[in-house]
């Protein structure tokens, strides 16, 4: 099995994965307990699927009893530039680094399937019997971050995301569950120390304590998952962030060791998404939205939610040139868009 694992790591690296490790499929009671507490406190907000499948999410064998090992993999999307560079350009929308290129689900899952097929073939060739495999990328009840830590890819930092000493905070995570008993790696150790940069960087105070995230206050949750109007207490804090937020990730000192992910061109930012103009985004109808965000993970939230977010950014911009575009949306068919337009109009007029 040691030889198979060594060859597995080499094959995964060949297919573009920067971090690979193996852990047991057994449920970790501590991880399951933290999930139960987080859900009990309602910190998942409107993400009902987190609670509905918690009994499967608590551990790999709960989802697939035949699983014996979990191969945790990470694909780097480390940016070349400063993810926070647009903070001082209020006429532009800030899109999280991970969503500026092609949809990572497609890229990562394709590579995972190739690794899984290789593993099945090699198990057969080496007389290890038939290997069962299942691949997961962010769309099933799988806790990729705790599994990544258990497999030695890194550790869950104080911002709750996985941090790698080699790749910083910029890893797309995937998992392969298998019926093979593969040698496991040493779990990742916490190297956050006394640093609290991520906690201080959060614009909405979404961390009630280190290593705990209240999704209901998180900019990524508010701009992506939250339906309807965003509570007024958060709107100014959104700034010009229109899809996701990189602040807590970008300030992590460990990113100084992360090399830009030039190898995977799929993750390079599309020119039209790297620094989009608010004025152009405010003019989007449904067809225009679909054209612009074809092949992007942003397409999932739909035109209405995106334009709602852009209106909050417009209201925060102080740019009165946006007044005509904002005014046109006061009677939008979507109630949240119309509400956001009213708020933005009032903000812009107050600053005029």
Identify the CA nearest to 226 among candidates 236, 214, 239, 209.
Answer: 214
Give phi and psi for 148, each to the nearest 5: -60, -40
CA–CA gap between residue 281 and residue 84 (Å, rounded) = 20
Which residue is catalytic, options 7, 138, 332, 334? 138
Measured in degrees and rounded to the nearest 5, phi and psi for residue 169 equal -100, 5
> Which 3 state secondary structure label does DSSP give 270?
coil
What are the backbone angles phi and psi of residue 195, rounded to the nearest 5°?
-65, 135
- Of the chain, the end-to-end C-alpha distance in Å amounts to 69
The C-alpha atoms of residue 322 and residue 306 are separated, in whole angstroms, by: 16
Is 91 marked active-site?
no
Q: Any idea what DSSP says for residue 209?
A: B
Residue 48 CB neighbour total at 10 angstroms: 9
Q: Residue 95 is inside which H or E element, if any?
A: strand 94-95
SS3 call for 142: coil
Structure tokens at 334: 């979507």
Query: Quick one: tokens of 144?
Result: 């990729």
Query: Of 172, 161, 165, 167, nearest to 249 (Cα)?
Result: 161
Question: Which residues are marked as active site?
Answer: 138
């Amino acid at each position: 099995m040691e030889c198979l694992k060594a060859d597995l790591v080499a094959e995964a690296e060949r297919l573009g994965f920067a971090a690979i490790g193996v852990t047991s499929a057994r449920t970790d009671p501590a991880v399951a307990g933290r999930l139960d507490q987080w859900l009990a406190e309602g910190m998942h907000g409107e993400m009902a699927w987190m609670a509905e499948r918690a009994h499967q999410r608590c551990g790999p064998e709960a989802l697939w009893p035949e699983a014996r090992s979990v191969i945790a993999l990470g694909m780097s999307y480390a940016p070349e530039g400063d993810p926070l560079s647009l903070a001082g350009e209020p006429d532009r929308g800030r899109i999280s680094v991970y969503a500026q290129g092609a949809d990572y689900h497609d890229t990562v899952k394709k590579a995972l399937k190739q690794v899984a097929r290789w593993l099945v073939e090699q198990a057969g060739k080496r007389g290890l019997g038939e290997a069962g495999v299942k691949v997961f990328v962010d769309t099933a009840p799988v806790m990729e971050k705790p599994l990544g830590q258990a497999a030695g890819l890194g550790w869950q930092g104080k911002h709750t995301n996985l941090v790698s000493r080699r790749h910083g905070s910029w890893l797309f995570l995937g998992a392969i569950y298998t019926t093979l008993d593969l040698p496991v790696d040493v779990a990742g150790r916490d190297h956050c120390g006394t640093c609290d940069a991520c906690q201080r960087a959060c614009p909405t105070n979404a961390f009630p304590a280190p290593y705990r995230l209240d999704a209901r206050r998180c900019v990524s949750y508010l701009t992506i998952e939250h339906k309807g109007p965003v509570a007024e207490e958060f709107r100014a804090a959104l700034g010009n962030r229109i899809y996701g937020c990189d602040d807590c990730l970008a300030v992590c000192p460990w990113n100084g060791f992360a090399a830009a992910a030039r190898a995977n061109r799929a993750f390079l930012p599309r020119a039209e998404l790297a620094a989009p103009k608010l004025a152009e985004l405010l003019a989007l109808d449904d067809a225009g939205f679909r054209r612009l965000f074809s092949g992007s993970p942003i397409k999932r939230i739909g035109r209405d939610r995106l334009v709602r977010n852009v209106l909050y950014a417009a209201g925060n911009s102080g740019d009165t040139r946006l007044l005509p575009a904002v005014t046109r949306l006061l009677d939008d068919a979507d109630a949240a868009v119309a509400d956001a337009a009213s708020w933005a109009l009032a903000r812009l007029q107050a600053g005029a």
